[in-house]
Amino acid sequence: MMFRPLLSAAAALALLSGCSVAATDEPAEGERVVTLVTHDSFAVSQELLDAFKAETGITVKPLASGDAGEVTNKLVLTKDNPIGDVAFGVDSTFASRALREGVFAEHASPEARHGAQRYQLDPPNRLHAVDVGDVCLNVDVAALKDVGEPAQLADLADPKYRDMLVVEDPATSSPGLAFLLATIATFGEGNWQRYWGQLTANGVKVVSGWEEAYTQDFSGSSGKGPRPVVVSYASSPSAEIGDDGTPRTKALLDTCYRQVEYAGVLDGAKNAEDAEAVVDFLLSERFQADVPGQMYVYPSREGVALPGEWAKAAPLPTSSRSLPAAEVDANRERWVAEWRALVQG
Query: Model confidence over 100-154: pLDDT tens digits?
Result: 999 999 999 999 999 999 999 888 899 999 999 899 999 999 999 999 999 999 9
Q: Which of 79-83, 125-129, 209-213, 282-286 has the lowest mean pLDDT?
A: 209-213
**222 and 319 fall within a common domain:** yes
Q: Where are the alpha helices (DSSP H) in 27-113?
A: 46-56, 68-77, 95-100
Cα separation, 13 vs 119, whole angstroms: 30
| Adjacent-strand bridge partners of 38 | 64
Q: How many domains does the chain have?
A: 2
First vs last C-alpha separation in the chain: 26
Task: Yes or no: say if 202 and 156 are a contact pair by the CB < 8 Å rule.
Answer: yes
Q: Could you tell me the pLDDT band of residue 308, with boundaries at 50, 70 and 90?
A: confident
**142 and 181 fall within a common domain:** yes
**169 and 272 fall within a common domain:** no
**320 and 299 fall within a common domain:** no
**203 and 335 fall within a common domain:** yes
The answer to whether residue 91 sits within a structural domain is: yes
The answer to whether residue 4 sits within a structural domain is: no
Question: Strand, helix or coil at 156?
Answer: helix
**106 and 118 fall within a common domain:** yes
**22 and 121 fall within a common domain:** yes
Q: Could you tell me the pLDDT band of residue 199, with boundaries at 50, 70 and 90?
A: very high
The answer to whether residue 2 sits within a structural domain is: no
* Percent share of the chain, pLDDT over 90: 72
- The whole domain housing 155 covers 135-257+315-343
**250 and 264 fall within a common domain:** no
The answer to whether residue 121 sits within a structural domain is: yes
The answer to whether residue 324 sits within a structural domain is: yes
Cα separation, 157 vs 202, whole angstroms: 6
**296 and 323 fall within a common domain:** no
CATH classification at residue 145: 3.40.190.10
The answer to whether residue 126 sits within a structural domain is: yes
Residue 259's nearest CA partner among 326, 312, 325, 187 is 325
**124 and 268 fall within a common domain:** yes
The answer to whether residue 1 sits within a structural domain is: no
Q: What is the mean pLDDT of residues 148-168?
A: 97
Q: Could you tell me the pLDDT band of residue 67, with boundaries at 50, 70 and 90?
A: confident
Question: Strand, helix or coil at 173?
Answer: coil
* Phi, psi at 35, each rounded to 5°: -85, 120
The answer to whether residue 276 sits within a structural domain is: yes
Contacts of 95 (CB under 8 A, 6+ apart): 121, 127, 262, 325
**171 and 124 fall within a common domain:** no
**185 and 123 fall within a common domain:** no
What is the DSSP pairing of strand 128-132 with strand 58-64? unpaired
Contacts of 29 (CB under 8 A, 6+ apart): none
